[in-house]
Amino acid sequence: MIVEIDHTSGVPPYEQLRDQVSRTILSGVLAPGAQLPSIRQIAADLNLAPGTVARAYRELERERLVVSHRRRGTTVAGPVRPAGRPDPDTDEQVAAAARRYAALSAQLGLDAAAALEHVREALSQLKDTVQATGGSGAETAR
């Protein structure tokens, strides 16, 4: 449950943070309702500007992975949809995430085959993690 920022990486820190928190939530390590650290705490720990962390949290909120409350801070969102019922926004959100990933891959100079291989690998890892943790992330994963 530790996020790590590589300050020498070409990937922007907010994207590194968003990606790792997202994976932690989707794999079920952070259960729905779990509280995330405050922006100030994460920023101080990771030696980042608070605005960078706030941006990562905003992205996660837009992806409906976390919910921000004025008094309770930021918590992991509950299951986005009840099991079995289709979510009309799902396609749109996944497409948006795919567009962001495609843009990032192109920016880093990856060809399409390499980029797709990373996606396959990530999906495979996610599947393994969900199985290992008893499927607690299955409802959250979209």
Nearer to other proteins, 9 or 90 (CB): 9
Task: State which of residues 26, 36, 56, 60 lies at the interface with other proteins (CB under 8 A).
Answer: 36
Are residues 67 and 32 in contact, defined by beta-carbon separation less than 8 angstroms? no
| Dist CA 13 CA 48 (whole Å) | 8
Are residues 87 and 81 in contact, defined by beta-carbon separation less than 8 angstroms? yes
Site for other proteins contains 39 (CB under 8 A): no
**What secondary structure does DSSP assign to 83-119, as a single string?**
TTSPPTTHHHHHHHHHHHHHHHHHHTT--HHHHHHHH
Q: Cα dihedral angle (123, 124, 129, 131), rounded to 10 degrees?
A: 110
**Dihedral over Cα of 38, 74, 140, 62: its sign:** negative
Site for other proteins contains 12 (CB under 8 A): no
Are residues 115 and 98 in contact, defined by beta-carbon separation less than 8 angstroms? no
Q: Which stretch binds other proteins (CB under 8 A): 36-44, 57-65, 87-95, 105-113?
A: 36-44
Least distance to other proteins, CB of residue 77, Å: 15
Least distance to other proteins, CB of residue 109, Å: 21
Site for other proteins contains 30 (CB under 8 A): yes
Nearer to other proteins, 93 or 136 (CB): 136
Task: State which of residues 11, 33, 44, 125 lies at the interface with other proteins (CB under 8 A).
Answer: 44
Interface residue list for other proteins (CB under 8 A): 1-8, 21, 24, 29-30, 35-38, 41-42, 44-48, 73, 133
